[in-house]
Amino acid sequence: MSDPLHPALVHVPLGLAFVLPWVTAGVAVAIDRGLLPRRAWVLVALLQLLVVAGGAAALLSGFREEHAVDGFVSSRLVQAHEERAVTFLLGAAMLLALTVSVLAVPARRLRAVAALAVAGSLIVAGLGLWTGRAGGELVYRHGAAAAYRVQSEHTTAEVRPPGN
């Protein structure tokens, strides 16, 4: 089996989720003060779309690689991590809808909806932390990485010439 893709993929949506509250707040304030045009909000929406797409890719890769850690980690712990990941992805998708709506709301509602988007981005960042912590515990506390170490040792042993 090749190296797992899931650990590499999860860092994109989580990293963006942690940065987006700052970006969202900064763009909202800049638009409110007239420093940026309203269409600059597209940047926030595109970054949120990357969170959702990256989260979906990470979730799918986790589903595909789940069998590799069977026997190394309790399925209950894996299931708890998956449930958190689904919650993160649903929250990110709802925030994407809200973020896109900022582009369409009347000007008199812009500040309120943008403020909701900032609050939502903080919630999604918290969900990302909650999900990532469960994944980190699978690897560092419960030994999920051992599944790949064992597979790697078997592959190395098969390739090693006899007598070495």
Question: pLDDT per residue over 9-54, tens digit each?
Answer: 889 999 999 999 999 999 999 999 999 999 999 999 999 999 999 9
The residue assigned the tokens 């304030």 is 29
Q: What CA–CA distances, in Å, run from 7 to 90, 120, 124, 136? A: 20, 25, 19, 10
Chain-wide mean pLDDT for the chain? 86
Q: What 3-state DSSP class applies to 70?
A: strand
Write down the pLDDT at residue 45: 98
Among residues 34, 47, 3, 18, the alpha carbon closest in space to that of 125 is found at: 18
Pairwise pLDDT comparison (72 vs 133), residue with the higher score: 133
Per-residue model confidence (pLDDT) at position 104? 94
Q: Distance (Å, rounded) from C-alpha 126 to C-alpha 119?
A: 11
Point out the least confidently predicted range of 1-5, 14-18, 122-126. 1-5
* Triad 117, 119, 122: Cα angle to 5°: 110
Q: How many residues does the chain have?
A: 164
Q: Where are the domains of the chain?
A: 6-159
The two structure tokens encoding residue 126: 């918290």
pTM: 0.83
Q: To the nearest 10°, the Cα dihedral for 60, 54, 125, 18?
A: 140
